[in-house]
């Protein structure tokens, strides 16, 4: 896919003190590559410590329409992620969603 058709969206969230991730990062970054024509997440990366969590996040988010609310994603994290970073994962996903939706509304709003 050509780079001009995609946008990189990054969501951030502060990591709780009890999380393994906190030993190396103060913030969780969730990086989404999104097709601007379909609004579909096509690739996911993150600063999660383990490969298993990075894969789980990719499985959870690839194919999602970022122009729509991520309520289903939040619900899955709440019920299926049993670690200290669950709140940070939900917050980072919602932050990325908010940034993308602001991007859709226009460049002035995307900067705010």
Give me the CATH number covering residue 54: 3.30.390
Alpha-carbon torsion, ordered 14, 17, 22, 28, to 10 deg: -20
Whole-prediction pTM value? 0.86
Give the domain range for residue 73.
3-106
For residue 99, is it within any domain?
A: yes
The better pLDDT of the pair 11, 108 is held by 11
For residue 111, is it within any domain?
A: no
Number of domains in the chain: 1
C-alpha 86: how far from chain center: 12
For residue 84, is it within any domain?
A: yes
Mean pLDDT of 80-92: 93
Q: How confident is the model at residue 108 (pLDDT cuts 50, 70, 90)?
A: low
The better pLDDT of the pair 1, 109 is held by 1
pLDDT one-digit tens code per residue, 31-79: 999 999 999 999 999 999 899 999 999 999 999 999 999 999 999 999 9
For residue 68, is it within any domain?
A: yes
pLDDT on residue 59:
98
- Three-state SS annotation for 31-56: EEEEECCCCEEEEEEECCCCHHHHHH
For residue 34, is it within any domain?
A: yes
For residue 50, is it within any domain?
A: yes
The better pLDDT of the pair 70, 84 is held by 70
For residue 112, is it within any domain?
A: no
């Amino acid at each position: 896919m050509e780079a001009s058709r995609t946008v990189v969206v990054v969501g951030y969230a502060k990591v709780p003190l009890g999380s393994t991730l906190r030993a190396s990062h103060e913030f969780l970054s969730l990086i989404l590559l999104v097709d601007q024509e379909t609004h579909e997440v096509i690739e996911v990366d993150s600063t999660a410590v383990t490969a298993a969590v990075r894969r789980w996040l990719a499985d959870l988010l690839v194919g999602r329409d970022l122009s729509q609310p991520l309520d289903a994603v939040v619900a899955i994290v709440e019920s299926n992620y049993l670690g200290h970073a669950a709140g940070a994962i939900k917050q980072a996903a919602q932050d990325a969603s908010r940034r993308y939706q602001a991007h859709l509304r226009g460049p002035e709003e995307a900067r705010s």
